[in-house]
Amino acid sequence: MKDKLSKFKSLIKKYGFVQTIKKIISYILSKIINIFNSMNFIRNRNVSTKLDKILEKNNYDRIIIWRSNFGWNVPLFQRPQHISLGLSKQKCLVFYEVTHFTDKIKDLEEINKNLILINLENKSIQKRLFTKLQKIDKPKYIQIYSTDWNMRLTDLKKYVEKGYKIIYEYIDEINPILSGTKDIPINIKEKYEYMLSDKENVFVVVTADKLKEDIEEKRGMEKLVFACNGVDYEHYQNIDKTFEFDKKFKEILYQNKPIIGYYGAFASWFDYEMVSNLAKQRPEYNVVLIGSKYDNSLEESNIEKLDNVFYLGTKDYKILKNYADKFNVCTVPFIINDITKATSPLKIFEYMALGKPIITTDMNECRKYQSVMIAKNKEEFISLIDKAISLNTKSNREYFEILKKEALENTWQEKTKDIIKLLEKYEKNN
C-alpha cells in the first residue's frame, strides 16, 4: 500500500489530478471487463482453438512469456518489443503480455508466426495458456524487467515450481526515481534479491557495464550475458520524404536554422541547464525536443520560454524517424549520476542508423563508440555541436562510415543472438 500511495502521488505530479483519476477509472473498468470476458464461454473456447493451432506448428525451440508491465502499442517502441520481435525470429515462441492502457486486445493476436500478443489480465486466458504449455516438452521461460513492480516474488516463484526458468533483464539502476516512488518498491527489491540468490533458475541479461559489474560482484558470471540496447537498422533507412509534418515543426523548418535534436524521456536526469546554455549562446540554432514527460522537470526548467527551444510532445515510433531525419545534430544531454552511469541509451543506436552526428554527455556506455562525441561540460557541449554542424558526408566520409558500421554492429538481431546463445548453452546440458 505504501508503494501504491507513493506512485499515486508521482502520477499526480506527472499527469495532474484529473488525468490520474481518469487513468485509475480506466484501470478499474478494464478489470471489470476482463472479469466478464473470463466468463464468456464461446470466446474462451475460441481462444483454446487459437492456442492449439499456434502450439501445434512446432516451429520453435523454446517458449518465452513476457510478463513485465509494458504495452505493445506505445508511442516509443522500445527494448521489450524489439527484443521480443528479435527472439521470435530466431525460433522462440514469444507470448507478449499486453496492457489495458495501450492495447485493445481482448484475447490474443498474432504479430508474426512466433510472436503472440496476449491478454493475461483475463484469468481464464491465463489459465488456459499455462495449462496447455505444461504439456509442451520444450524449455520455457518467464521474461521480466528489473524495473517491473507489478509482479510479486511469490508469483514468480510459482512459475519456477512449474519448471519455468526466469530471464531477468537488468536494464537500469535499482532506484526509486525510476519507479516514481519515494522508496524502492518492495516487488522490485524482492525480485532483485531473488535474482542474486537463485543461480540455478535465473538467467540475467545486463545492458551496461556498471550493471554487469554489480552482478559479477554479488552473484558471479554464471548464466549472465551482456546485451545492451540496439536498433532496427532497416526502419531508419525508410524515411518518408512526403511526410506531412505538424504546423509547429513546419514553422521550425521554415526558419532554415540548424536543428539540434533530442527525443526520449524528460526527467530529472536530463541536463536542462546544458541545453539552455546552448540555446542562449547559439541563437542561430534551433533546439527541438520530442518525447514524454516522466516527471514535471521540463516545466520547472522553463526551457520552453527560450525563443529557439521547441518542445513537440511525443511522436509515434512509426513517424518519429521522419522528424529526427531533419535534425542536423542528435544529442543525449544527461546529467551524470548513478542512473545514467548504468544507462545504455537506446537512441544513440537509432541516431547512428539515421547517419546523424551524435553528441552526448560523459556516460559510461557512450564512451564505447567512435561515432559518439563526448562533452564533459557545457562549454565542450557547444564546441562539439559547432563541430558536428560543420560535418558533411563528402569531406567527412570516414565519420559517417563509422556511424553506419556501429549501427550495423548493434542491431536488435545481434542482441537477441547473444541472449539465445546463453540459453542454448544451458539447454544442451539438461
Q: Give per-residue pLDDT as tens, 64-82.
A: 999 987 889 887 789 999 9
Domain residue limits, the chain:
2-230+413-427, 233-410
Q: Which residue has the higher pLDDT, 401 or 5?
A: 401
Beta carbons within 8 Å of 52's beta carbon, 6+ residues apart: 132
Sorting pLDDT into bands at 50, 70 and 90, what band is 283?
Answer: very high
Q: How far, CA to CA in Å, does 292 sit from each of 100, 123, 164, 266, 362?
A: 19, 32, 35, 6, 23
Q: Look up residue 314 and give its DSSP letter.
A: -
| Residue type (1 letter), 110 | E
* Percentage of the chain exceeding pLDDT 90: 75
DSSP state of 231: B
Query: Please, which pLDDT band fits residue 90 given cuts at 50, 70 and 90?
Result: very high
For 288-343, the pLDDT digits (tens) are: 999 999 889 999 999 999 999 999 999 999 999 999 999 999 999 999 999 999 99
Residue 140's SS3 state is: strand
CA distance to 69, 129, 182, 266, per residue, from 5 (Å): 19, 33, 10, 23
- Amino acid letter, 71: G
CATH class, range 2-230+413-427: alpha beta
Structural contact between residues 63 and 135, judged by C-beta atoms closer than 8 angstroms: no
101-114 mean pLDDT = 86
Read off the pLDDT of residues 360-375 as tens digits, 9 standing for 90 and up: 999 999 999 999 999 9
Helix or strand run (H / E) with residue 185 = none
pLDDT higher than 50, residue 51: yes
pLDDT tens-place string over residues 190-237: 999 999 999 999 999 999 999 999 999 999 999 999 999 999 999 999
Q: Quick one: pLDDT at residue 176? A: 85
Three-state SS for 32? helix
Grid cell at residue 207: 545492458
Superfamily of domain 233-410: Glycogen Phosphorylase B; (3.40.50.2000)
With cut-offs at 50, 70 and 90, classify the pLDDT of residue 181.
confident
pLDDT band at 29 (very low <50, low <70, confident <90, very high): low
Query: In this structure, are strands 329-332 and 309-311 parallel, antiparallel, or unpaired?
Result: unpaired
CA pair distance 46, 74, nearest whole angstrom: 27
Q: Is the pLDDT of residue 28 over 80?
A: no
How many other CB atoms sit within 10 Å of the CB of residue 294? Answer: 19
Q: What is the pLDDT of residue 373?
A: 98
Looking at the chain, how many residues does it have? 430
Q: Is 98 exposed, middle or buried (0-12, 13-18, 19+ CB in 10 A)?
A: buried
Chain mean position to CA 40? 34
Indicate if 233-410 has the same CATH topology as 2-230+413-427: yes
CA distances (Å), origin 271, targets 361, 362, 378: 9, 12, 10
The pLDDT-based confidence of 33 (bands split at 50, 70, 90) is low
- CA-CA distance, 317 to 321, in Å (whole number)? 7
